[in-house]
């Protein structure tokens, strides 16, 4: 069947259309993406303002039309941290439902971590052993660990690259004092969770998902995305530590000119790098392998698992 997963994230609204069957690998058929940056459109009270709600509604409507054009039988719509934490989330969800017919499911941070973990487990297989999965989004950082398809531990922290950029790095290029303060905040937040994972022992394989990790790996010399999904891509902590001060000294425009860095993500790359560096350091990780699958694929896989046998 042809499924569509509609991901209303903190940075983008992304419709991924796949041809999917139980027991088979989902095959991407179409991708429709629009920048929204909800995490940066919150007003001082934490609400999504009228402009943000208007844009969200219009983009969801466009995504629904794209899904219909591509023959999608079922759309799996969900929203993550930016909507989840908005003080007017119920009003926003009702507006989207009334004007587009889309009833967005708001995932908890733990659900995000678990679904991303499922995607990574299916990608790497049982032979990967105990997995530690790191995922940096626009609004949150998810960490999950386990040996099965359901992680033994899963947490979500408000350390997304977009959120931190908006709240901590207002200048361009950033003020060194702001960078130092953000680094301290990130590491203190992650350090509180390390013990929860350490009691399960050392992982056999550490993987990272998300656009932030992919861009950082590309900066460190990983293959371009155009070279395909099945090329192994890695990010070494030493390479990341070399890049962080360089990114901190750059303007957004300068970062956008780096290989693999999109113009829309350039402003938040430093915050993402600080989170990645902090997580790898505090968890004692020297190297992560980039996983092509993440939350959207996890949602699709979970849906396929619940389809009746054909």
Range of the domain at 131: 124-295
Query: Does residue 217 share a domain with residue 132?
Result: yes
Query: Does residue 87 share a domain with residue 185?
Result: no
Alpha-helical regions (H) of 132-236 = 161-168, 176-198, 211-219
Q: Domain holding 246: CATH number?
A: 3.30.420.150
The backbone region for 207, taken as left when phi is positive above 0, alpha when psi lies in -120 to 50, beta otherwise, is beta
Best CA proximity match to 204, nearest among 110, 133, 99? 133
Query: Does residue 66 share a domain with residue 185?
Result: no
Best CA proximity match to 235, nearest among 286, 302, 303, 175? 286
Number of domains in the chain: 2
Q: Which of 76, 106, 136 corresponds to the end of one domain?
A: 106
Per-residue pLDDT of the chain (310 residues; tens, 9 = 90+): 999 999 999 889 999 999 988 888 899 999 999 998 887 778 889 899 998 999 999 999 999 999 999 999 999 999 999 899 999 999 999 999 999 999 999 999 999 999 999 999 999 999 999 999 999 999 999 999 999 999 999 999 999 999 999 999 999 999 999 999 999 999 999 999 999 999 999 999 999 999 999 999 999 999 988 898 889 999 999 999 999 999 999 999 999 999 999 888 999 999 999 999 999 999 999 999 999 999 999 999 999 998 876 6
Q: Domain holding 47: CATH number?
A: 3.30.420.40
pTM: 0.95
d(C-alpha 37, C-alpha 163), whole Å: 9
Per the DSSP assignment, residues forming a β-bridge with 18 are 3, 28
Per the DSSP assignment, residues forming a β-bridge with 107 are none
CB 196 within 8 A of CB 153: yes
| Max intra-chain CA distance, the chain | 60
């Amino acid at each position: 069947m042809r499924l569509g997963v509609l991901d209303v994230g903190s940075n983008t609204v992304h419709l991924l259309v796949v041809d999917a069957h139980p027991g088979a690998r989902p095959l991407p058929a179409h991708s429709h993406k629009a920048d929204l940056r909800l995490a940066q459109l919150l007003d001082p009270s934490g609400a999504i303002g009228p402009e943000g709600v208007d844009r969200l509604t219009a983009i969801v409507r466009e995504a629904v039309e794209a899904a219909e054009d591509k023959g999608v039988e079922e759309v799996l719509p969900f929203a993550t941290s930016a909507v989840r934490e908005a003080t007017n989330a119920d009003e926003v969800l009702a507006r989207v439902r009334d004007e587009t017919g889309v009833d967005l499911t708001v995932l908890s941070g733990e659900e995000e971590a678990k679904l991303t973990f499922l995607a990574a487990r299916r990608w790497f297989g049982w032979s990967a052993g105990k997995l530690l999965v790191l995922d940096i989004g626009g609004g949150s950082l998810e960490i999950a660990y386990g040996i099965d398809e359901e992680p033994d531990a899963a947490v979500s922290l408000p350390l997304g690259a977009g959120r931190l950029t908006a709240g901590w790095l207002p200048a361009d290029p950033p003020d060194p004092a702001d960078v130092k303060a953000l680094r301290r905040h990130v590491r203190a937040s992650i350090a509180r969770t390390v013990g929860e994972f350490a009691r399960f022992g050392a992982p056999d394989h550490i993987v990272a998902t998300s656009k932030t990790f992919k861009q950082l790996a590309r900066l460190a010399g990983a293959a371009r995305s155009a070279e395909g999904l099945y090329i192994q891509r890695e990010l070494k902590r030493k390479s990341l530590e070399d890049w962080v001060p360089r990114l901190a000294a750059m303007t957004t425009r300068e970062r956008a000119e780096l290989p693999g860095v999109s113009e829309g993500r350039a402003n938040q790359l430093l915050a993402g790098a600080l989170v990645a560096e902090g997580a790898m350091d505090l968890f004692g990780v020297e190297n992560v392998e980039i996983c092509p699958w993440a939350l959207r694929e996890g949602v699709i896989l979970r849906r396929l698992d619940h389809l009746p046998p054909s």
